[in-house]
Structure 1
Amino acid sequence: YLEGCTAPQYDSNQLHAAVVELVALKDANIKYSTVQNWYAGNEFGQGGIYNFVTKRGLCAGLNAKISWTQVETGSSITWKYPSCILVGNNTQGEFYSVALTNNYQQADTGSKMVHIGKNSRSRIVSKGISAGQSKNT
């Protein structure tokens, strides 16, 4: 699944609060990708989208796999930590992320993997690039 996000420009801040839940059963492989380019606000940090997102996945069955991929280039503030709960045996969770910020943007991104099943494994690769007065956490 590929999710694309963009928004018009407003003088005041807007809120985007989304929830995504994935459940992978036996031998399922779910790939969820996001390209986010919400309005970031002007060069002084005015306006822009507050992007607060909950994304969680459950690898419930044997050999289940969930892979999150995200590219964050917009919004005034982004807070996003996709997670996987690896309950089934031989399950896998993956997270790949690039957050690019400029001017007064703030990005707080990462992931969390909870290992419960036998032989579960995960990989997290998260990179942030900041320019101007922006911040990546």
Structure 2
Amino acid sequence: MNVLLLALGGGIGAIARYLVGLAMMKRYLDPPFPVAMLVVNLIGSFGLGAFFGGYFQEIPLGAYEDPLFLTVGIGFFGAFTTYSTFSVEASMLLKAKQWRKLSLYIGFSIIGSILFFLLGFSMLVAFTS
């Protein structure tokens, strides 16, 4: 059953990532750095934080057996966000020696994702308390 929950959440998350990525690429035809995956990863980090804050009110260590966490946390948000695409895009900027774009992309992606997770988490903990 757990594998089915992961597949369901992951399938929906992958489709959502694709659609949001397409929308961002259409909106920003010549972005200063890979905006589409940055936005996807920031939205996903915020959403996962909000999920943790609203559902658990903490960041639990042993949530891997919880069916909703498997579906939403690991399945949906795991497939929605994409560290592998981030790595490819960062490598492309590195290869092109676009140091400023690379630095901005890495900084916004890593620091932004952590801050967005904490923001989503804090907002939902405060909202549900």
TM-score > 0.5, shorter chain as reference: no
Higher relative contact order (CA 8 A, sep 6+): 2
Alignment TM-score, normalising by the size of structure 1: 0.29
Task: Give 1 or 2: higher strand fraction.
Answer: 1
Alignment TM-score, normalising by the size of structure 2: 0.30
